[in-house]
Amino acid sequence: MKILVTGFDPFGSEKINPALEAVKKLPTQISGAKIITLEIPTVFNEVGPIIQQAIQTYQPDLVLNVGQAGGRFNITVEKVAINLADARIADNQGNQPLDEVIFDDGPTAYFTQLPVKAIVSALNENEIPAAVSYTAGTFVCNYVMYYVQHLISTRYPKIKGGFIHVPYIPAQVVTKPNQPAMNLEDIVKGLELAITTMVTYNGLEDIKTIGGTEH
């Protein structure tokens, strides 16, 4: 089994992206699966084709995209991506789409193929704060998740794909009072546990447990 894991470069005013730093620290093999890592740009129009080329090159069985969600306390496993790009800030090339669809021929939303609840359960059992998320935002993270799901739907039906958001690391919140953070080592551990769970549940249904939210 081969898993392509991507991490975004820093964006906005940040000098570091914990998603990329954690992805860089992943071992080359997890639970028997070969791990292929890739840095991707926080740029709307560029990132999709880069991932598509990587899929063609490496022929992975699973694509896991990892991004930063500053302000979130948990590692959050995304359930759904929506066909909308509505950027609060510009990307790293100055692009700022407003109320634009990602694919004209795409559905309103896609659900991930990953066992999101099993992943969250595994992380929490190992004392890593985690939760299911039902919004990946409307910035490049959601764009990438939707883009990969559209590729799966239209070109690569045997591939599974998903997205995980990680919190700030402590160095990022020194000047951000009251913002939550997580040690990089715990983020790496969380991603390794998530990937282990993906391998374990390959071909199996997700667990049945409450993961929804009221708001």
Of 14, 141, 150, 215, which one is the catalytic site residue? 141
- Residue 200: enclosing H or E segment and its boundaries? helix 184-200
Q: 1-21: b or e for each residue (b if 16 or more CB lie within 10 Å)?
A: eebbbbbbbbbeeeeebbbbb
Catalytic (active site) residue 165: yes
Task: Say if residues 103 and 155 touch (Cβ distance below 8 Å).
Answer: no
Catalytic (active site) residue 150: no
Strand partners, 7: 39, 66
Of 14, 78, 205, 214, which one is the catalytic site residue? 78
Catalytic (active site) residue 215: no
User: How far apart are alpha carbons 164 and 110 in whole angstroms?
Assistant: 15
Residues 6+ apart with CB under 8 A from 198: 3, 62, 64, 114, 115, 119, 160, 162
Of 14, 39, 100, 165, which one is the catalytic site residue? 165
Token pair for 63:
């694509």
User: How far apart are alpha carbons 82 and 143 in whole angstroms?
Assistant: 8
What Cα–Cα distance (Å) separates residue 115 from each residue in 16, 56, 170, 183? Answer: 29, 24, 29, 24
- For the annotated catalytic residues, the residue numbers are 78, 141, 165
